[in-house]
């Protein structure tokens, strides 16, 4: 499993981390951005994010910006980026009905082939008959080559039913990226694969 970036600041080098075992320390000094979910309600379409530097768990280095009108993260420098998403859902009402699911996907402009599958998440929401299962979390990360001007957004997929009994945990639902190389895809990263780490609490 790859190392997950430390929330609230740029990634740092720790000798025991699996990711830093393969990668040079210099890459952790490049562009890094992390945003926190702004709205708690589950609605189909692009998620909106807090982007003001200084807020807890929010960071945008020079060369990265967030467009609140389109809910897109904008990259100014071409390179290979590790893009990650963590969704954390909490049950807020007992609710009615059976189990269901919530899915998300990364959208890019212009598109990059295979991107949706590379950062897609599906969370299975347990039914009210399982009151102890009141939290569901999933993490996914992938390497992408992005060009200058690329715009990224996270979209929730079609909802199978009304999910008013579940909400996004705003402080724990995060989306970010950091640059691991400028220019083309570096050969030292070919051994690494996209990771996913779903879990339930």
Average the pLDDT over 61-74 and give the result. Answer: 95
In this predicted structure, the answer to whether residue 107 has a pLDDT above a threshold of 80 is yes
| Residue 63: pLDDT over 70 | yes
CB 137 within 8 A of CB 199: yes
Instruction: Provide the CATH number for the domain formed by 31-200 in this structure.
Output: 2.60.120.40
Residue 43 CA from chain centroid, whole number: 17
Domain extent listing, the chain: 31-200
Q: Rounded mean pLDDT of 79-99?
A: 82
pTM for this entry: 0.75
Q: Residue 165's pLDDT band (boundaries 50, 70, 90)?
A: confident
CA distance 106 to 56: 23
- Ramachandran assignment for 120, one of left (phi > 0), alpha (psi -120 to 50 degrees), beta (any other): beta
Residues in the chain: 201
pLDDT (average), residues 82-110: 83
Q: What is the pLDDT of residue 191?
A: 38
CA distance 124 to 91: 12
Query: Which residue carries 């780490």 as its tokens?
Result: 197
Tell me what percent of the residues of the chain surpass a pLDDT of 90. Answer: 33
């Amino acid at each position: 499993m790859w190392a997950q970036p430390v929330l609230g600041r740029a990634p740092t080098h720790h000798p025991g981390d699996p990711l830093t075992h393969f990668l040079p320390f210099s890459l952790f000094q490049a562009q890094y951005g992390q945003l926190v979910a702004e709205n708690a309600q589950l609605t189909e379409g692009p998620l909106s994010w807090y982007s003001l530097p200084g807020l807890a768990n929010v960071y945008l280095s020079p060369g990265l910006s967030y467009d609140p009108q389109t809910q897109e993260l904008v990259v100014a420098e071409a390179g290979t980026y590790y893009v990650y998403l963590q969704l954390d859902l909490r049950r807020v009402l007992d609710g009615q009905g059976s189990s269901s699911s919530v899915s998300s996907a990364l959208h890019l402009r212009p598109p990059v082939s295979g991107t949706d599958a590379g950062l897609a998440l599906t969370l299975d929401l347990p039914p009210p008959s399982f009151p102890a299962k009141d939290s569901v979390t999933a993490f996914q990360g992938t390497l992408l080559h992005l060009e200058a001007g690329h715009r990224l957004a996270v979209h929730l997929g079609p909802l199978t039913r009304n999910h008013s009994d579940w909400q996004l945990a705003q402080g724990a639902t995060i989306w970010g990226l950091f640059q691991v190389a400028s220019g083309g895809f570096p050969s030292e990263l070919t051994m690494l694969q996209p990771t996913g780490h779903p879990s339930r609490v």
